[in-house]
Chains A and B, each alone.
Chain A
Amino acid sequence: MKFFIQLVAIIFIAFILELFLPWWCIAMASFAGGYALKSRFNFLAGFLGIGLLWLAKAGLIDATGSSPLAEQVATIFSLNKTLLYLATVLIGGLVGGFASMSGATLKKAKR
Chain B
Amino acid sequence: MKNIRFFASFFITLILIYLLNNSWPIGGNRIPPLGKFLDPFHGFWQNIEPKNYTGPEALTIQGLNNPVTIVYDSLLIPHIFADNDEDLYLAQGYVTATHRLWQMEFQTHAAAGRLSEVLGEGPNGAILDLDRGQRRAGLGYAANHAVEAMIRDSTIRMVAEKYTEGINAYIATLHYKNLPIEYKLLDYSPENWSTLKCAYLLKRMAFTLNSGDKDIEMTNALKLFGKETLDLLYPDREPATDPIVDNAGNWKFNPINLDSVPLALPDELIKINKLPGADPTTGSNNWAVSGSKTATGSPILCGDPHLNLSLPSIWFAIQLTAPGVNVMGASLPGSPAIIIGFNDSVAWSVTNAQRDLIDWFKITYQDSGKNKYRLDDQWVDTKKVVEEFKIRGKETLYDTVIYTHWGPVPYDENYHAENELKSYAFRWITHDGTEELKTFFQLNRAKNHSDYMKAVDYYGAPAQNFAFASVSGDIAMRIQGKYPVRRKEEGKFVLDGSRSSNGWQAFIPNEQNIMYKNPERGFVSSANQYPADSTYPYYITATSYEAYRNRRINQVLRETNNITVQDMIKLQGDNYNLKAAESLPMFIAMLNPATLNEEEKKALDILKSWDYFNHAGSEGASYYEAWWDNLMPLIWDEMQHDKIVLQTPTTYNTIKLMKEQPDLSFFDVQATDEKETAREVVQQSFSKGVQDILKWKADHQSNSPLWADYKDSYMGHLLRLQPFSIHVKHGGNHDIVNAHSRTHGPSWRMVASLEKTGVKTWAVYPGGQSGNPGSYYYNNLLDQWTADQLYPMVFVNTPDEMKTKSLYSTTFNPNSK
Contact = CB atoms under 8 A, between A and B. Distances in A.
Interface of A: 18-19, 22-24, 26-27, 31, 54, 57-58, 61-62, 64-67, 69-73, 75-77, 87-88, 91-92, 94-95, 98-99, 101-102, 105-106, 108-109
Interface of B: 2-3, 5-6, 9-10, 12-13, 16-17, 20-21, 31, 34-36, 38-53, 176, 181, 185, 721-724, 773-776, 778
B35 A91 contact: yes
Contacts of B49: 65-67
A88 to B, nearest CB: 4
Given A22-B42, A67-B48, A95-B16, A109 B3 contact: yes
B624 to A, nearest CB: 35
A99 B14 CA distance: 9
Given A67-B775, A98-B13, A61 B45 contact: yes
A67 B38 CA distance: 17
A34 to B, nearest CB: 9
Nearest to A66: B776
B564 to A, nearest CB: 36
Contact of A61 (B17, B48, B52): B48
5 contacts: A22-B42, A22-B176, A87-B38, A91-B34, A92-B38
Contacts of B776: 66-67
Given A61-B48, A67-B773, A75 B723 contact: yes
Given A27-B17, A58-B45, A66-B50, A72 B9 contact: no
Contact of B42 (A23, A106, A109): A23
A65 B39 contact: no
Nearest to A31: B13
B41 A65 contact: no
Central interface residue in B38, B50, B776, by most chain A CB within 10 Å: B38
Central interface residue in B17, B721, B775, by most chain A CB within 10 Å: B17
A58 to B, nearest CB: 4
A24 B47 CA distance: 19
B16 A65 contact: no
A72 B719 CA distance: 14
A23 B39 contact: yes
Contacts of B53: 66
10 smallest CB-CB distances across A and B, nearest first, come from A23-B39, A72-B723, A69-B774, A65-B48, A66-B776, A105-B6, A57-B40, A58-B40, A18-B41, A102-B10
Central interface residue in B3, B41, B47, by most chain A CB within 10 Å: B41
Nearest to B48: A65
Contacts of A106: 6, 10
B43 A65 contact: no
Nearest to B723: A72
A43 B705 CA distance: 59
Contact of A91 (B38, B185, B775): B38
B36 A64 contact: no
Contacts of B47: 69
A28 B16 CA distance: 13
A18 B51 CA distance: 23
B51 to A, nearest CB: 5
Contacts of A24: 17, 21, 35
B10 A70 contact: no
Contact of B5 (A65, A75, A105): A105
A66 B779 CA distance: 12
A70 B45 contact: yes
Contacts of A64: 50-51
A64 B31 CA distance: 27
B48 A88 contact: no
A106 B51 CA distance: 45
Contacts of A105: 2, 5-6, 9-10
Contacts of B51: 64-66
Nearest to B10: A102
Contacts of B10: 102, 105-106
A38 to B, nearest CB: 12
Given A88-B38, A109-B6, 10 more contacts: A66-B51, A67-B776, A69-B774, A73-B44, A76-B185, A76-B723, A92-B35, A95-B20, A98-B16, A105-B2
A108 B48 contact: no
A91 B44 contact: no
A48 B50 CA distance: 27
B46 A23 contact: no
Nearest to B780: A66
A20 to B, nearest CB: 10
B39 to A, nearest CB: 4
A64 B45 CA distance: 12
Contacts of A94: 16
B46 A61 contact: yes
A102 B40 contact: no
B36 A95 contact: no
A54 B5 CA distance: 27
A22 B36 CA distance: 8
Central interface residue in B34, B40, B42, B775, by most chain A CB within 10 Å: B40
Nearest to B15: A98
Central interface residue in A69, A72, A73, by most chain B CB within 10 Å: A73
Contacts of A92: 35, 38-39
Given A66-B775, A72-B723, A76-B721, A23 B41 contact: yes
B773 A101 contact: no
Given A54-B39, A72-B724, A98 B9 contact: yes
A23 B774 CA distance: 21
A92 B47 CA distance: 19
A76 B6 CA distance: 38
Contacts of A27: 13, 17
Central interface residue in B35, B48, B53, B774, by most chain A CB within 10 Å: B48
Nearest to A72: B723
Central interface residue in B9, B52, B53, by most chain A CB within 10 Å: B9
